[in-house]
């Protein structure tokens, strides 16, 4: 047995685990991206501060290199060559970025590459380098590398132009302190997520058990059904269970009516057998009576009387056999198909026709049907089977060679008729059949046999039965109008 509660717990647990894992992964990625963006922003600011220091130094040097007015001196005192100072970016001023860049292996480093390839390093690097490459002005490169003391460095390198010269400034920062903080936060988040998952599973367990307790009235009503103290299940249940309860109650009604019909049929059969059995018993008792003197004197008349009594016994036995055979036919027909809430004409009716053809194989009948419907009938299969079984059995009994059955939609319901090519019934006989109400035990011969069962089923579904003469085959016709048994998709073929 599969537990509904266990399935709910498993489904919710897997769903929550996936959601929490996905959230953790997304949060992890977002935090690391935000951290790197924050560090890169600080490195950019430090690089711009270095650039400003270099620009100021270059401006001072450029101003000092401008030619100054010289006093007039004699040509012989003039030097025979001029000193030309080359302009290039100088070492940034010490302390421009604060003491953290002066402390060895502080985790904050920079490296400046001049146009001629010479490098200026922060004091914090001591004698190591960032291994940056010279970049053209405007190009920026970010990467991670291992720094001094195994530090995990995030490096931002960019090319800048100062005057006519190009310099590359690479700034780096140790990520390990930030990553340790992030790892602690992620561990805290994971612990809270697992605790929240367990708490939600516990709360969900309480909710599911409380919801399932609402099914207790159904259990009590089922016990009451077994004891016979109720005939239906309460509909005071959750809305998700209500359709199932209503279906079950509808089945209880159908099976209750079917049980009542079975009891009526059993009572009818018992009453029908009672009369011929009593007559048979009386005839047998008369056979044992001693003949009187007159009978002994007239031996031929006595023998004739014995023969008549024997004939009456045979007739009553044959009547009993007919009634029993009829009930056996009904049992075979009812057992030919399974029960259910729908009747599929295309799938179920051929089985019934095959059974009837075997039962009346000595007559060589042709039984055919036409179906103008495109969907199964929303009617209890056993009810429909019993109705069709009685109508077709009655038609086969009186048909000469052919029986025809047709289904078609009619007034939001079903119309079906069963025709045969037998002798049919006169208007007087049809009126007599309708007037008598036709019970199984009232007529042994004729078209009335079994029509009472048909009428009971039709009354149950608020249908209508009409009896008449077949316009196509010339024999008997039984026509049924049955409202509300077509599905929503049923339509004319």
Nearest Cα neighbor of 169 from 46, 42, 37 is: 46
The tens place of each residue's pLDDT in the chain, 493 residues long, gives 477 778 888 888 888 889 888 888 888 888 889 888 999 999 999 888 888 887 776 655 555 555 555 544 333 333 343 333 333 444 555 456 778 888 888 889 988 988 888 888 888 888 888 888 888 988 999 989 888 888 899 999 999 988 788 889 999 999 998 888 888 888 888 888 888 888 988 888 888 888 888 888 888 888 888 887 888 888 888 888 888 898 888 888 877 877 777 777 777 677 667 767 777 777 676 665 555 544 554 556 656 666 676 777 777 777 777 767 666 655 555 544 445 567 888 888 998 999 899 888 999 999 999 998 888 887 878 788 888 988 998 899 889 999 999 999 887 688 999 999 998 888 877 777 754 444 433 443 444 446 777 887 888 778 899 999 999 899 999 999 988 776 544 444 3
- Beta strand residue intervals within 98-242, DSSP E: 108-113, 119-121, 140-146, 152-162, 165-174
- pLDDT value at residue 392: 92
The answer to whether the pTM exceeds 0.85 is no
User: Is the Cα torsion angle 470, 482, 327, 431 positive or negative in sign?
Assistant: negative
Q: Tell me the sheet residues that pair with 153.
A: 145, 174
Query: What pLDDT score was predicted for residue 62?
Result: 56
Pick the CATH number of 337-493 from 3.40.50.720, 3.40.640.10, 3.40.50.880, 3.30.565.10: 3.30.565.10
* Alpha helices per DSSP H over 213-340: 216-227, 242-287, 293-297, 299-334
List 410's β-bridge partners, or say none.
Answer: 413
For the sheet containing 165-174, what is the strand order? 119-121, 108-113, 165-174, 152-162, 140-146
Listed residue (466, 456, 476, 486) closest to 387, CA to CA: 456
> Is 137:159 a contact under the CB 8 Å cutoff?
yes
Question: Furthest-apart CA pair in the chain: how many Å?
Answer: 201
């Amino acid at each position: 047995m599969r537990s509904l509660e266990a399935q709910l717990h498993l489904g919710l647990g897997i769903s929550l685990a996936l959601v929490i894992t996905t959230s953790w992964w997304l949060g992890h990625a977002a935090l690391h991206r935000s951290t790197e963006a924050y560090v890169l922003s600080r490195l950019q600011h430090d690089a711009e501060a270095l650039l400003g220091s270099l620009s100021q130094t270059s401006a001072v040097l450029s101003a000092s290199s401008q030619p100054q007015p010289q006093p007039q001196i004699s040509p012989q005192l003039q030097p025979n060559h001029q000193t030309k100072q080359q302009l290039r970016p100088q070492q940034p001023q010490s302390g421009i970025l604060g003491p953290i860049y002066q402390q060895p292996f502080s985790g904050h480093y920079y490296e400046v590459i001049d146009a001629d390839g010479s490098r200026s390093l922060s004091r914090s690097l001591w004698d190591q380098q960032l291994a940056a490459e010279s970049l053209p002005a405007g190009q920026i490169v970010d990467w991670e590398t291992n720094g001094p003391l195994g530090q995990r460095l995030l490096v931002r390198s960019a090319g800048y132009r100062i005057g006519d010269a190009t310099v590359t400034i690479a700034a780096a920062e140790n990520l390990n302190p930030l990553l340790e903080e992030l790892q602690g936060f992620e561990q805290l988040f994971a612990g809270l997520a697992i605790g929240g998952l367990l708490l939600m599973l516990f709360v969900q367990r309480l909710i599911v058990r409380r919801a399932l307790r609402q099914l207790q009235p159904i259990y009590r009503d089922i016990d009451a059904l077994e004891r016979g103290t109720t005939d239906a299940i309460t509909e005071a249940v959750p809305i998700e269970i209500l359709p199932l309860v209503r279906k079950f109650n509808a089945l209880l009604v159908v099976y209750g009516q079917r049980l009542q019909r079975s009891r009526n049929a059993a009572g009818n059969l018992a009453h029908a057998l009672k009369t011929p059995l009593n007559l048979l018993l009386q005839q047998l008792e008369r056979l044992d009576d001693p003949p009187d003197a007159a009978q002994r004197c007239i031996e031929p008349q006595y023998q004739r009387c014995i023969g008549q009594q024997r004939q009456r016994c045979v007739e009553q036995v044959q009547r009993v056999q007919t009634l029993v055979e009829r009930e056996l036919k009904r049992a075979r027909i009812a057992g030919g198909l399974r029960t259910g809430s729908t009747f599929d004409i295309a799938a179920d009716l051929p089985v019934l026709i095959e059974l009837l053809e075997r039962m009346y194989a000595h007559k060589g009948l042709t039984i055919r049907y036409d179906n103008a419907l495109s969907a199964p009938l929303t009617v209890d299969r056993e009810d429909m089977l019993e109705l069709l079984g009685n109508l077709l059995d009655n038609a086969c009994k009186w048909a000469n060679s052919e029986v025809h059955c047709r289904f078609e939609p009619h007034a939001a319901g079903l119309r079906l008729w069963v025709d045969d090519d037998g002798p049919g019934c006169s208007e007087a006989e049809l009126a007599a059949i309708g007037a008598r109400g036709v019970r199984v035990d009232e007529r042994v011969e004729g078209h009335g046999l079994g029509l009472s069962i048909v009428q009971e089923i039709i009354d149950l579904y608020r249908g209508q039965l009409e009896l008449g003469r077949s316009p196509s085959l010339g024999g008997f016709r039984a026509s049924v109008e049955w409202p509300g048994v077509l599905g929503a998709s049923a339509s004319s073929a």
